[in-house]
Amino acid sequence: MNKEQLQQLAAFLTLQEKIKMIHGAAFFATAGIPEKNIPPFVFSDGPMGVRPEYGPDTWYPIAGNDDYTSYLPCNSALASTFNRQRVLESGEVLGLEARGRGKDMILAPGLNIHRSPLGGRNFEYMSEDPYLTAEMAVSCIKGVQKNDVAACAKHFALNNQETNRTSYSPVVSERALWEIYFPAFRACVKEGHVEGVMGAYNKFKGEFLCHQKELVNDILRGEWDFDGMYVSDWGAVHDTQKAVDCELDVEMAATNNFDDYYLASPLEKAVQEGRIAEADLDKKILRILGTMNRLHMLDGERKSGAYNLPSSRQTLLQAAEESVILLKNDDSLLPLAPKKLKKLLVIGDNADRTHASGGGSAEIKALYELTPLMGLKMLLGGNCTVEYEPGYYACVTGNAWEGENAQNAFANVGTSFASRQNRKVRDDEVAALNASYKEHAIAACKDADAVIFIGGLNHDHDVEARDRSDYHLPYGQDSLIKDLLKVRPDMIVTLIAGSPVSMEEWIADAKAVVFSYYNGMEGGLALAETLLGMVCPSGKLPTTFPVKLSDSPAHSLGQFPGAQTVNYDEGIMVGYRYYDTYHVKPQFAFGHGLSYTDFVYDDLSVSMTETPEGPACDIKLTVANISGPDAKESVQVYVAPLTNDCDKDLVRPTQELRAFDKKEIGKGERTGFSFHLDAIAFSYYDEASHSYKVPAGTYEIRVGSASDDIRLRKEVTVTETCFLPRS
Ligand code: GLC
């Protein structure tokens, strides 16, 4: 349909029909208007795959056998590939499956900044760095929307914690908004052409994000020209008039009193009493129809999608393989040599635990999920005995985030997972269990050819609606790892988690350490392939792992989780920006990730040119894989301001990630990389001019394998200060 036709369609809608289109008539759908050939608009979570089917008005999973789907690596795992192509392809799988399950909008990607290592939903988000987040989110959105399904960038904005999530109001500087918290959302709109943006639960300047006219009307709609659907988070609307005045299009909630929603009967009453003009709804209707039109929901030309395709699972395996991060590998302990293994001991609850069904709204009913233990057994086959010891007792509750209903439902359908996990075990029983598990694990170490520990967190800790309260590993893992390393100094330590954890107590004693985010249905196989050398690790940390929590700027300079007001006093100094600038050495740095081969960076050439839009920079270099095996490398480009004419008391980060690319490089081969930086790469946000300022001065172009592993540098000069519009 063209614009005129859409306007005509909207003009023929009655008030009641318009109101039907702008609020939920079921937990995950608005009502359709069949007499006008307008279908319902159907939503589904989430970033890791299409959520199980729930009844229209009860949080009881329908628990059929036809809603199993593919389970993607979480958003942090996708970001750790540092590979746009892997994320694009994974996004394509997500969109294909959403379409295949009859959805119109998949509520993904999650792109709030990792402000604290304790953030309960860090796993659903990408990174501490706005540029990496933007690049990965845009890639995901482009993939999803290839399938006539809308993606939904969430949660706009500043939803960086779960504590008090439905009411807290962060205090953030304008500079931090535009350097840290806005860029990824802006990129999703301007570059990703995302069809959906979700209004967060929290407030900003004391106003809920679904009523926040400055951020929504002035910036999202006005400056960024977003013409897709602004959808509330589920229960994030609190006032009829404010929701109408704010350019919000659809109100969704988690309660089944659909007619009582603010944009339902109360709105109809307000219009009938003349307190709200019906015309105020027309922009909402036109935006919804515009999105429906672009998704081919109105013209019968729509793609059908498909779910659980074998090719999709192969795509997800590739992404999982590229997201595993080798943190440490002293004495080249890894990879293990499969042919030399006659007896392998695997210790740790996460070796044998699946994660798909946890985390809150991101839960997935995975068609299957390969655990690391399964992956290792699959690959080693019958010539190697793989012994397993739990090592510690993880009394995972597995409580569904929607409370009692869903909990009972899980019990009702007799899910062994729920009943097993929900067992309440008294503390002394747990202590006794842990002591026994530790004793067995230590005893089993004696005659194993190799020992792999696989622990970390689970979705009792990385979960919606609450943040972690402790940076340390739970269940006594730190002391267990220490004791095991005394018996087996060659033990491989592998952690699976959705956010950084402390390693301080044992990291010096561990020779080989591997980290994997919740990595989807093929994650256990990808990890096993990496440990056994069938895949060469190429993942990079998308977020800094501090030594201790008090090193984190959100906890040392700012407030986390704070109270109803949360002061982001660290400002722009989030993540490596802080650690580098204030020389706080992290446990593992942003962008860190080792390989089984060695790369040599060489032949750097850097040229600056002045363009009408300000300075631009072209960078070329080569990277050689000098020792093998064939491997992939993510080359990162940082810009470091050395001197420039900005205010003397204005602090700029030591360096900022401004480009990255990943390529496969064969053993003994050399490959070229090239990058182009626009003026924005040299800028900071200037509050006085409300724009990005590029100060004249000298800068250093830094090219490396990690933020703390710069291999080549070149000084360049920006000859003339200039200003860039912020939108
Ligand atoms: C939840 C989450 C949001 C999710 C929505 C629908 O509260 O905050 O990410 O998409 O509700 O389940």
Nearest alpha carbon, ligand 1 atom 6: 234
Mean per-residue pLDDT over the chain, rounded = 95
How much is the pLDDT for 426? 77
pLDDT bucket at 502, cuts 50 / 70 / 90: very high
Q: How confident is the model over 411-422, as pLDDT tens digits?
A: 333 334 444 444
- Best residue among 28, 103, 107 to mutate for probing ligand 1's pocket (most ligand atoms within 8 Å of CB) is 107
pLDDT bucket at 6, cuts 50 / 70 / 90: very high
Give the percent of the chain with pLDDT over 90: 92
Check 148, 233, 249, 686 and give the catalytic one. 233
How much is the pLDDT for 274? 97
Per-residue pLDDT, averaged over 327-354, amounts to 98
405 has pLDDT over 90: no
Task: Determine the residue type at 38.
Answer: I
Q: How far apart are CA 700 and CA 502, in angstroms?
A: 32
Element housing 372 (H / E) = helix 372-380
Q: How confident is the model over 638-666, as pLDDT tens digits?
A: 999 998 666 777 899 999 999 999 999 99
Closest listed residue to residue 262, CA positions, set 279, 281, 287: 281
pLDDT bucket at 391, cuts 50 / 70 / 90: very high
Q: What spacing in Å lies between the alpha carbon of 712 and ligand 1's midpoint?
A: 44
How much is the pLDDT for 428? 81
Question: Which strands form 656-665's sheet, in the order they lie side by side?
Answer: 656-665, 631-644, 697-706, 709-718
Q: How confident is the model over 244-285, as pLDDT tens digits?
A: 999 999 999 999 999 999 999 999 999 999 999 999 999 999
Report the atom number in ligand 1 closest to the C-alpha of 201: 8
How much is the pLDDT for 570? 98
Nearest alpha carbon, ligand 1 atom 12: 361
Q: How confident is the model over 66-109, as pLDDT tens digits?
A: 999 999 999 999 999 999 999 999 999 999 999 999 999 999 99
Per-residue pLDDT, averaged over 446-457, amounts to 97
402 has pLDDT over 60: no
pLDDT bucket at 424, cuts 50 / 70 / 90: low
Show the ligand 1 pocket: residues with CB < 6 angstroms.
Answer: 45-46, 107, 154, 233-234, 361
- Sequence-ordered list of residues with C-beta below 8 angstroms from that of 37, at least 6 positions apart, any chain: 298
Closest listed residue to residue 372, CA positions, set 506, 478, 460, 493: 493
Per-residue pLDDT, averaged over 173-197, amounts to 98
Give the percent of the chain with pLDDT over 70: 96
Instruction: Output the DSSP codes for 207-226.
Output: EETTT-HIIIIIIIIIIS--
Q: Are 87 and 143 in contact, with CB atoms under 8 Å apart?
A: yes
What count of residues does the chain have?
727
Q: What is the value of pTM for the model shown?
A: 0.96
- Best residue among 44, 50, 159, 234 to mutate for probing ligand 1's pocket (most ligand atoms within 8 Å of CB) is 234
pLDDT bucket at 300, cuts 50 / 70 / 90: confident
Whether 598 sits among the annotated catalytic residues: the reply is: no
Report the atom number in ligand 1 closest to the C-alpha of 46: 10
